[in-house]
Structure 1
Amino acid sequence: MKIDISTSSPIQLPRLSVRALPRSLPPVANETIGSFVARLAFVNHINCRDLIRVLAPTCRSQLRAPEKIVRLHLLAGATGIKSTHLAYALPEIRGQLLDQGVSGLKGMTIAGHPNRIHPACRLCMGAKNVVGRVSVWRRPDQNICLRHGIWIGRDVTTPADQFCVNDLPEMLQAQRRHGKLISRYGHRAVNYHYGHAHNIVDVSSRLPSPTKRWSRMLYFFEREKVERLPRSYSSAAMYPEAVALTNILISPYWRHSAVHGSPIEQDKFFRHIQLKDLTNGPPNLDRSLWGWIREHQPQPWRHTGQQFLDLRTHLRSPVAE
């Protein structure tokens, strides 16, 4: 008997299913798939690689990248949790839910650049009775856990790098101010200018100097009573100045004064930064700050009126749009 392939309907392969694990646990918001699978294997006393083989039966050779091969419906069957709930909590497999036509994901944290993988707040995990290390995707503006006053942002690679900043009110105020900037200007613009501001403050005050950053560093050394501190302390010490400088760089008024203004207006821009004490030394001699100004000045190869459009088109938003 011959079958006409051109007219016959495509073969429907059976949908694979798995038996539910003896013990399930809910994922943490924005948790990495690798972290969730590892915790799931730990509480069920099975090997993590064996569990990945079950959740990704067609890709046995890519066990080092579970976020690319774990199937959402198999993970739902193994945990007993609805696919929708898992996809909303795990950014790396959320795309499998989009293939099913599910909407309502606007504003949710995405997996990949510009977001980074950091340990979840240790106090939040302790309050939820979560055992083991939890890694989450965190946006560039998420640096302090306001619920517990813990630094969880840049240069935090292990839970031991997290530390309390409740005794520094300007740190908590900077985190709230960072959020207000995003509400006003959007994620793309704030992330772009915050990256420049962070670099300007870092280069300016990297070495010991009479700056607010090093005043906080001395306070941290005295408080912790140690000779060496993790790098996360240095990043946190300059966070208020980085956010304050971001507020200036993103302002249309100050940006116009620095980029297109007259020498008098440009001098007013530098004096404003010096008055805020955001850099070490005269701001008009700061090479990093001048680099930001030159990047925004009209270039011969750019079309008129497209000076800032390029910044919005080639940068990736940290949230789904």
Structure 2
Amino acid sequence: MRRVAAANHVSGEGLRELLGVRMLKRTPIAALIEPLSIVTGFEESVLCLALPEFGPGAVTNEHGHFGRPLTQQKRSLERPACRRCVHAAGIQGPVHRWTTHEQNVCLRHRLWIGQGCTVPGDQVDISMLPSTSRAQRHHQNLIRRHGRRWVRDAFSGARSAFLGLVEGHFADPFGIIGEAQLHLRDVGGQPAPSSTTLGILFHPQIVTLTGLLANPEWAWRARQSGHIGWLAAEVTHRDILVGYAPKENDPLVQWVEGHLLHRRFVAAYGYKLHDVFFPEETVRPSPPPRAPSGS
């Protein structure tokens, strides 16, 4: 609506008045579909595909919506689109879009568009870090292999656990963070914040840890042995954090304990609670109807 208003040189409020739309607190977002269709010339079905806010919901049988980000209950993320993609499309103003957790790098322009980017100017050129771009493809492969629901949960845990371990035990004696900030700069030439710099530098390790945590093998081995020795050994073996030795209160151990507790709770009280502890972030098809049981 803002972009249509800007193209017609009126304010957003002025455009709504011209269209006869009053947006109150309880006015559903769907009330904008018809007037937007009139002013843009696009059919309502096209707008529903282009704008997730107008989508049918978390579960649907309507083709074209599967895999699109969910805006309900903030299950997906709202971030600025790659500023170079926006400029290439001839758009002058900022564009925000609903996106999913794995969209952290624009592979076309080698630009960091993930965590820490709240405005287009925060996006950082990472062309000198090819491993971070490769991690983006690795992340997408993990989703195909293990499923989006589990990879999303594992990525959240892997990121917080890994950065917690690094920030707690990494004194940066060789000035790696400071050196990286000399090269990782935003559009204004300012160095990226240290938290964003850490996320960019260690994105390959975080994604590798995500793959390890999304694989159910570690949980099976932990239940069989009663400890996470195999998981800790794999963290070193896969060069995620060499020499890692789990401690009682370290972030990875805390995530493992919480994850196992949630899985036990879901198993005990029914898998309908999956969406509570492991929510989906994209639209999925309706489950097929169950066949009637024989008498």
In the superposition, relative to structure 1, how do residues 193 and 74 fare at CA in structure 2: closer, same or farther (>3 Å)?
A: same
| Secondary structure of residue in 2 paired with 1:118 | strand
Q: How many residues align?
A: 273
Are 1:188 and 2:149 matched, yes or no? Answer: yes
Q: Distance in 2 between matches of 1:295 and 1:207?
A: 20
Cα shift at 1:256: 1.9
Cα shift at 1:142: 0.6
Aligned to 1:164: 125
Aligned to 1:87: 48
| Secondary structure of residue in 2 paired with 1:137 | strand
With CA pairs under 8 Å and 6+ residues apart, which has the higher RCO, 1 or 2? 2
Matches within 5 A, 1:72-83: 72-83=33-44
CA radius of gyration, larger in: 1
Q: Distance in 1 between matches of 2:108 and 2:11?
A: 35
Aligned to 2:16: 52
Cα shift at 1:276: 3.3
- Contact in 1 for aligned 2:154/2:214 (Cα 8 Å): yes
Are 1:122 and 2:86 matched, yes or no? Answer: no
Aligned to 1:109: 69
Q: Distance in 1 between matches of 2:183 and 2:94?
A: 26
Describe the superposition over 1:87-132 as per-residue Cα deviations: whole angstroms up to 9, x where unpaired: 1111112239x99x95431112222422111111011111111111
Q: Distance in 2 between matches of 1:307 and 1:272?
A: 32
- Contact in 1 for aligned 2:79/2:99 (Cα 8 Å): yes
Structure 2 unaligned regions, length at least 5: 285-295
Q: Distance in 2 between matches of 1:168 and 1:67?
A: 44
Segment drifting more, 174-183 vs 278-287:
278-287
In the superposition, relative to structure 1, how do residues 235 and 116 fare at CA in structure 2: closer, same or farther (>3 Å)?
A: same
| Secondary structure of residue in 2 paired with 1:283 | coil
Aligned to 2:215: 251
In the superposition, relative to structure 1, how do residues 208 and 255 fare at CA in structure 2: closer, same or farther (>3 Å)?
A: closer
- Contact in 1 for aligned 2:125/2:184 (Cα 8 Å): no
Aligned to 2:105, which of 144, 151, 160?
144
- Contact in 1 for aligned 2:236/2:244 (Cα 8 Å): yes
Aligned to 1:133, which of 94, 117, 124?
94
What's the TM-score once normalised by structure 1's chain length? 0.74
Q: Distance in 2 between matches of 1:48 and 1:188?
A: 37
Q: Distance in 1 between matches of 2:34 and 2:199?
A: 40
| Secondary structure of residue in 2 paired with 1:41 | helix
Aligned to 1:316: 279
- Contact in 2 for aligned 1:152/1:162 (Cα 8 Å): yes
Cα shift at 1:38: 1.0
Segment drifting more, 241-250 vs 108-117:
108-117
- Contact in 2 for aligned 1:114/1:318 (Cα 8 Å): yes
- Contact in 1 for aligned 2:110/2:133 (Cα 8 Å): yes
- Contact in 2 for aligned 1:260/1:297 (Cα 8 Å): no
Q: Distance in 1 between matches of 2:215 and 2:75?
A: 22
- Contact in 1 for aligned 2:184/2:197 (Cα 8 Å): no
Aligned to 2:240, which of 267, 272, 278?
278
- Contact in 1 for aligned 2:30/2:54 (Cα 8 Å): no
- Contact in 2 for aligned 1:52/1:66 (Cα 8 Å): no
Segment drifting more, 129-138 vs 237-246:
237-246
Quote the sequence identity (%): 24
Cα shift at 1:160: 1.1
Cα shift at 1:228: 4.7
Describe the superposition over 1:21-41 as per-residue Cα deviations: whole angstroms up to 9, x where unpaired: xxxxxxxxxxxxxxxx11111
Q: Distance in 2 between matches of 1:208 and 1:148?
A: 33
- Contact in 1 for aligned 2:124/2:184 (Cα 8 Å): no
One-letter identity of the residue aligned with 1:221: Q
Q: Distance in 2 between matches of 1:172 and 1:163?
A: 12
| Secondary structure of residue in 2 paired with 1:182 | helix
Aligned to 1:234: 198
- Contact in 1 for aligned 2:111/2:123 (Cα 8 Å): yes
- Contact in 2 for aligned 1:53/1:60 (Cα 8 Å): no
One-letter identity of the residue aligned with 1:137: W
Q: Distance in 2 between matches of 1:56 and 1:188?
A: 41
